[in-house]
Structure 1
Amino acid sequence: MTFLEVTRDGPLVTLAMNAPEVRNALTGNTAVAEFVEQCAAIDRDLSVKCVIVTGYDGMFSSGGNMKDMRRYFDDTLTQAQIAAEYRNGIQRLTKALYGLDVPVIAAVGGAAIGAGCDLACMCDVRIAAENAAFAESFVKVGIVPGDGGAWLLTRTIGRSKAAEMAFTGEMLSAAEALRIGLVSRVVPAAQLMDAARELAAKITAQPGGVLRMTKRLLRESQMNSLDSVLETSAVMQALAHKSWEHREAVTAFIDKRKPDFSQPKA
């Protein structure tokens, strides 16, 4: 049985975690391999414009599999081996999902715990159901955010609130997540996927090439200087001005019609 259920609706791909027996845990199973494989396929397919990541009703992801963690008690498993497991395991998921070229929406229903909370932060936009809850709970089980959560959470909600979440491991409600900017909106649980698809429809209506460049600029702005981002922006803008999508958008505006970004124009 696969961890991810993958569905395609035109330019939208939905990756739905469906492992209720482990509450969508991301370790001790095929979750990492499946996420990495799907992200690679999405990046290769230029017709994809948006991705939704979600879970089954009542659960986004419980993070690490606690039962699987007991094997680290084995004295024959060295610290170097454990570090290598993280590099070659959950950290591959972080790089693949955070590094996706297209916009990613996390539709969070139920709990997003530990690496599950970080999984949501790997996405560009987070929509939460009213019953959602978030916790950076590694400290409560005597470990650190080995998946890059310290980097992700700080950039999502700022240093002070990220530190509070990481130092206490306390659970936040959907309402509190909205207040601190961890999510952009909260909706009734029954409307979660409709809200995610509605937002995805607004995104996929835009030109795909420009969406990918815009996402790259937003990510570059988190790590580089203004001068560096300005230079990258100039280069990408030159590419955008010469694209068929820009020509179609301007022509449609002048002709007072809706632009068609479904395929290149002759």
Structure 2
Amino acid sequence: METFLTIDRDGPVLTWSMHAPEVRNALTGNTAAAEFIAACEAANADPTVRAVIITGYEGMFSSGGNVKDMRRFFDDAMTPERIAQEYRTGIQRLARAVHGLEVPTIAAVGGPAIGAGCDLSCMCDIRIASENASFAESFVKVGIVPGDGGAWLLPRAVGASRAAEMAFTGDTLNAQQALAIGLVSQVVPAAELLNAARELASRIVRNSGPALRMTKRLLREAQTARLDTVLEMSATMQAIAHKTPQNREAVQAFIEKRAPKFSD
């Protein structure tokens, strides 16, 4: 069986490309979850990694769940308990892993991002779309719910009202509509998508690796924590940051009016 993810590295930037054209990069019924989990664990454990780009093969991001594979749930042997456990140990572990990545993540969406594919993009910190991209929270269209955490992820990307409209209708948005509601931060020509993602990643990874990881952690915690809690976490992380060699180098470089040189 071919691998689902192709992993490339350019200095501190990893690019994970989904390549299962026969199922349009479906995230279920294959090794996608296991490969994403392993890739996330490896990136978190490597302090020299400072950003991850997630993309798909040309013209496709991800079709989400494999609808044809869902027919096996019709079998009486597939009890609700077994199905729920399969979600917990499959797509939901993928969601926890990608959302839990410690470094900044960029989804470079070059084509349809449907159902769990849309939610995969929302697991990332930043989304860039090509002019050919489209997005749909389409679970309701096949009589199911966002079993991968989309009900938590999508409102944080576009707000409660927009998320409800997408989830209740299952309608597909084109790239410009996604830009208008803030689901993506920029739309670029298809041929320029990966370069745009890499250029953004290069601006991110010029900065301190430890500071990037701690900043991401604070941004994520701030979504659900009280201000007092975030302030205390910020004070603790700031104390750690001030003692890193990256902070020392960044401050010295600023004073000397030069670009910092980090060794991680």
Note whether the superposition's TM-score is higher than 0.5: yes
- Per the normalisation by structure 1, the TM-score is 0.98
Report the counterpart of residue 36 of structure 2 in structure 1: 35
Counterpart residue identity of residue 231, structure 2: L
Q: Tell me how far apart the structure 1 counterparts of residues 192 and 50 of structure 2 sit (CA, whole Å).
A: 22
Report the counterpart of residue 168 of structure 2 in structure 1: 167
Pairwise CA distance, 1:159 = 0.3
Report the counterpart of residue 44 of structure 1 in structure 2: 45
The one-character-per-residue Cα deviations of 1:25-62 (angstroms, maximum 9, x if unpaired) are 00000000000000000000000000000001111000
3-state DSSP of counterpart to 2:78? coil
Percent identical pairs in the alignment equals 68
Q: Tell me how far apart the structure 1 counterparts of residues 258 and 62 of structure 2 sit (CA, whole Å).
A: 43
Report the counterpart of residue 103 of structure 2 in structure 1: 102
- Per the normalisation by structure 2, the TM-score is 0.99
Structure 1 position 200 matched with structure 2 position 235: no
Report the counterpart of residue 212 of structure 1 in structure 2: 213
Report the counterpart of residue 180 of structure 1 in structure 2: 181
Q: Tell me how far apart the structure 2 counterparts of residues 148 and 233 of structure 1 sit (CA, whole Å).
A: 27
Q: Tell me how far apart the structure 2 counterparts of residues 247 and 262 of structure 1 sit (CA, whole Å).
A: 12
Matches within 5 A, 1:103-252: 103-252=104-253
Pairwise CA distance, 1:135 = 0.1
Q: Which blocks of at least 5 consecutive residues in structure 2 are unaligned?
A: none
3-state DSSP of counterpart to 2:61? strand
Q: Tell me how far apart the structure 1 counterparts of residues 258 and 171 of structure 2 sit (CA, whole Å).
A: 51
Q: How many residues are matched?
A: 263
Pairwise CA distance, 1:6 = 0.6
Q: Tell me how far apart the structure 1 counterparts of residues 187 and 140 of structure 2 sit (CA, whole Å).
A: 27
Q: Tell me how far apart the structure 2 counterparts of residues 254 and 47 of structure 1 sit (CA, whole Å).
A: 25
Q: CA RMSD in A?
A: 0.6
Structure 1 position 87 matched with structure 2 position 53: no
Pairwise CA distance, 1:118 = 0.1
Runs (4 or more) in structure 1 with deviation over 6 Å come to: none
3-state DSSP of counterpart to 1:181? coil
Q: Tell me how far apart the structure 1 counterparts of residues 64 and 80 of structure 2 sit (CA, whole Å).
A: 21
Pairwise CA distance, 1:256 = 1.8
Counterpart residue identity of residue 69, structure 1: M
3-state DSSP of counterpart to 1:59? coil
Q: Which blocks of at least 5 consecutive residues in structure 1 are unaligned?
A: none
Q: Tell me how far apart the structure 2 counterparts of residues 151 and 114 of structure 1 sit (CA, whole Å).
A: 14
The one-character-per-residue Cα deviations of 1:207-241 (angstroms, maximum 9, x if unpaired) are 10000000000000001011100000000011111
Report the counterpart of residue 73 of structure 2 in structure 1: 72
Pairwise CA distance, 1:262 = 2.6
